[in-house]
Structure formats: C-alpha cells, structure tokens
C-alpha cells in the first residue's frame, strides 16, 4: 500500500488506533498487533504513564514499534489542552499531539475557536499538531493555514458508531485541503472504514469500534483489511455510476450478429 507523511515522518499503515477502553492491557496489545497500526493514540489524562509494573500500560505497549500520538481528550478549554499536551511530551518524549478542545459535553463536538487557539500555541511550541475537528471545510482550511500537519474531521459523534454521516462534506474537505485528512470518530464497523478510504482519506482513526467490539482482536483485523481494501479501491478508480445497465461483455463479434 502507498505511503503518506505527517510532520516529515513516513507511514505505511493508514489505520490509527486508540489505546483505551479495552477489557485489559493484554487485549489492547493483541488488538494493536492485529490492526497493523503504526500510530497509537493515548489519552494522557486517563492513563497512568508512571506505572511501569508488569500489569501497567508500558508493559503492554511497544515503544519501538509504535509512534505514540498523545491526545488532549477530556479538555474543555485552551489552557487545559495546552497544559496536557506539554505534560504529554514530557512524559512520552513524543512531539506528536492530537489536539481536542471539546465544546459540548453531550455531543463532544469540538470548540472551533478554542481549537484554533490551542493549535496556534502548540505549533509555536514545536509540536506536530493533528487537530480533531468538526467535518467543516472552513475550519479544516483554517487549521491547514495555521500550519497544522493534518486535519482530523469527525465522521460522526465520538463513540457513536454511526459511520460516515456526511460524505459530501468530507469530499469537499479532501478537495480543498492539501495536508493529510484523517477521518476520526464515529466509525462503527469495517464497511465504515472502507468508505472513508474510498473517498480518498489519508487514514482513519478509531478506538471504540475496536475496543468495544465483542472480539476486539478480530475487529482490529477486520479494520486492517477494510482500510487496505478501501485505499486500493480509491487508487484503482471506481467505474462511474449510471442509471441504466451497461453490458458487462462486449457486443462486437457476438455469434449470430
């Protein structure tokens, strides 16, 4: 599968996976392996990164294999998002950060103004910034102009499993933004991931769809295959949609004609 770049680093896997909500760290480890991911998000406010015991997070996370993407999940204002990102860099050594500034407790939709301000500060701090944002072409363009290294528009509310609710907005974003577009939030099953990739997204990020499945490891494998097949279909170029039938076999030289 073709590669893509974020912040000067090249990646092959187009599936980003979260590290939370699994039944156990062991299941997390096996799911990450099955997913084939190279980038793993970590909610630094919800994981004890100081626990280096045999039962802790670090005992089940391969620092050499995965690029860690700390996120500012649970932050509802600029100050807490920036502080969390800075603490995450100190704790993990990673310059990558997924920036979340939540504006509504029920929908967990982002606060656009707060997100822009937090990203501006973190870019000045030298972070590789990947903002979680609404599926709005205008805010995505503003984030790109600010200097963000990717944009991460939601497909549906976080953890909803509703799949891609507005493919038309995503298509516009993909046409207008030149940095990688990573579809984030709302994926429920493998077909959702495939659709995102067929639209032309650089990658898909998910957590609940895998961690919340009856069999997270099996779902991780399914998502791996879906992302790969969706990307291949996008690169291959689908046939145009038509209202009427077109014969699948050529008519020239047909017997009796």
Q: Taking the CB of residue 111, how many other CB atoms lie within 10 A of it?
A: 20
Cα–Cα distance between 95 and 205 in angstroms, integer?
Answer: 18
CB 19 within 8 A of CB 10: no
Q: Classify 96 as helix, strand or coil.
A: strand
Q: Hey, is 214 helix, strand or coil?
A: coil
Going by their DSSP bridges, the two strands 152-153 and 128-133 should be labelled as parallel
| Tokens read off for 19 | 């590290």
Catalytic residue, chosen from 21, 63, 65, 98, is 98
Bridge partners of 205?
16, 184
Phi-psi region of 68 (alpha: psi -120 to 50; beta: other; left: phi over 0): beta
User: Is 63 one of the annotated active-site residues of the chain?
Assistant: no
Q: Could you tell me if 85 and 72 are in contact, meaning their C-beta atoms sit under 8 angstroms apart?
A: yes
Q: Which two tokens stand for residue 1?
A: 């599968």
Residues 103 and 132 sit within 8 Å (Cβ to Cβ): no
Catalytic residue ranges? 98
């Amino acid at each position: 599968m073709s590669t893509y770049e974020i912040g000067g680093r090249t990646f092959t896997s187009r599936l980003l996976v979260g590290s939370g909500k699994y039944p156990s760290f062991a299941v997390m480890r096996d799911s990450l392996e099955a997913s084939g991911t190279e980038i793993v998000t970590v909610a630094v406010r919800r994981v004890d990164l100081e626990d280096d015991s045999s039962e802790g997070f670090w005992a089940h996370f391969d620092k050499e294999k995965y690029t860690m993407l700390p996120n500012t999940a649970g932050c509802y204002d600029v100050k807490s998002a920036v502080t969390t990102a800075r603490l995450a860099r100190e704790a993990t050594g990673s310059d990558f950060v997924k920036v979340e500034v939540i504006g509504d407790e029920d929908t967990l939709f982002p606060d656009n103004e707060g997100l822009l301000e937090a990203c501006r500060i973190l870019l000045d701090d030298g972070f590789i910034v990947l903002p979680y944002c609404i599926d709005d072409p205008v805010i995505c363009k503003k984030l790109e102009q600010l200097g963000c290294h990717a944009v991460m528009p939601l497909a549906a509310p976080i953890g909803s499993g509703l799949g891609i609710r507005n493919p038309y907005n995503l298509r516009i974003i993909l046409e207008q933004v030149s940095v990688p577009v990573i579809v984030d939030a709302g994926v429920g099953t493998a077909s959702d991931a495939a659709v995102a990739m067929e639209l032309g997204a650089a990658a898909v990020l998910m957590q609940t769809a895998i961690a919340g499945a009856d069999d997270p490891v099996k779902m991780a494998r399914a998502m791996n295959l879906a992302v790969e097949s969706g990307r291949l279909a996008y690169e291959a170029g689908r046939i145009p949609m038509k209202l009427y039938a077109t014969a699948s076999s050529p008519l020239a030289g047909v017997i009796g004609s």
